[in-house]
C-alpha cells in the first residue's frame, strides 16, 4: 500500500490499498509513517506477542 515517487524521492500511502494494520508504521526506522488506527507501541506489542 506504499508507493514510491523516484522524482520527488518520497513515499506515500495509497489509502485505497491500506489495510490499517500499522505494520509499515512499526517498521519505519525514521518513524515517518503515522498509523491512523494504532500507536507504534501497540503494533510493536502485537508483533512481540506473535513472536514470543
Domain region containing 18: 2-51
- In the prediction, which pLDDT does 5 show? 92
- In the prediction, which pLDDT does 36 show? 73
- In the prediction, which pLDDT does 49 show? 92
Interior/surface letters 29-50, b for 16+ CB within 10 angstroms, e for the rest: eeeebebeebebeebeeeeeee
- In the prediction, which pLDDT does 40 show? 77
Q: What is the pLDDT along the chain (52 residues), one digit of tens a residue?
A: 889 999 999 888 888 888 888 788 878 888 888 777 777 788 789 889 999 8
Domain count, the chain: 1
Amino acid at each position: 500500500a506504499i508507493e514510491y515517487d523516484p522524482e520527488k524521492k518520497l513515499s506515500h500511502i495509497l489509502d485505497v490499498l491500506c489495510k490499517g494494520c500499522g505494520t509499515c508504521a512499526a517498521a519505519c526506522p525514521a518513524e515517518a509513517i503515522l498509523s491512523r488506527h494504532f500507536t507504534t507501541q501497540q503494533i510493536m506489542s502485537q508483533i512481540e506477542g506473535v513472536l514470543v
